[in-house]
């Protein structure tokens, strides 16, 4: 039965079909079930649904998510030795810079210096946000999911 599903999906998305046949097949099958809103074990319904453009779009989104996971795993494998410490140290340094800036804002008497430090704080917060996105991973597919989840929660 899984071979039938893999065969059907391979015509639309070879990447997902390969992932279904691999060691992470159960995880990919669960992901597909969640995205499609139905069990992929019902091959007749799946065959019908694979003709619909919205289902193909969902499969393409899953394909992007799988590619992101593969890319992240490859990047993590590249980090060796001291390079593993670069990202965490960058994040810690950025947070310390924010605390130092807040300290200076509270204790500086000159209004011009205080205003410059407030602007600097805004930039530091923005930079820390970007660093943490990079460090913990944030991609276009996950931002689309976050937006769609927020919209779905507002509807209910």
Pair 100, 50 in one domain: no
Tell me if the pTM is above 0.95. no
pLDDT of 62 reads: 80
Q: What is the mean pLDDT of residues 133-143?
A: 60
pLDDT per residue over 46-105, tens digit each? 777 777 888 888 888 888 877 777 776 777 667 666 767 777 788 888 889 999 999 989
Pair 108, 63 in one domain: no
Q: 56 is in which domain, residue-wise?
A: 1-78
Highest mean pLDDT among 19-23, 30-34, 108-112, 149-153: 108-112
Give the end of a domain, one of 25, 49, 78: 78
pLDDT of 64 reads: 82
Q: What is the mean pLDDT of residues 31-49?
A: 77
Give the end of a domain, one of 48, 78, 108: 78
pLDDT of 25 reads: 74
Pair 17, 72 in one domain: yes
Count of structural domains, the chain: 2
Pair 8, 20: CB distance under 8 Å? no
Pair 7, 26 in one domain: yes
Pair 74, 85 in one domain: no
Give the end of a domain, one of 58, 78, 98: 78
Pair 45, 38: CB distance under 8 Å? yes
Pair 10, 65 in one domain: yes
Pair 57, 109 in one domain: no
pLDDT of 37 reads: 80
* Residue 139 pLDDT greater than 90, yes or no: no
pLDDT per residue over 92-127, tens digit each? 888 899 999 999 899 999 999 999 999 999 988 888
């Amino acid at each position: 039965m899984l071979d039938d599903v893999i065969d059907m999906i391979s015509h639309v998305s070879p990447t997902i079909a390969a992932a279904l046949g691999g060691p992470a097949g159960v995880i990919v099958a669960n992901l597909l079930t969640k995205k499609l809103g139905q069990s992929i074990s019902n091959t007749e319904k799946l065959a019908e649904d694979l003709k619909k453009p919205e289902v193909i779009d969902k499969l393409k989104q899953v394909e992007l998510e799988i590619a992101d996971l593969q890319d992240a795993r490859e990047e993590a494998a590249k980090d060796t030795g001291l390079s593993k410490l670069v990202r965490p140290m960058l994040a810690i340094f950025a947070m310390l810079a924010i605390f130092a800036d807040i300290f200076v804002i509270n204790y500086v008497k000159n209004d011009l210096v205080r205003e410059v430090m407030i602007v600097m704080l805004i930039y530091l917060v923005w930079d820390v946000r970007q660093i943490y996105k990079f460090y913990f991973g944030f991609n276009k597919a996950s931002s689309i999911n976050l937006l769609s989840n927020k919209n779905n929660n507002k509807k209910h």
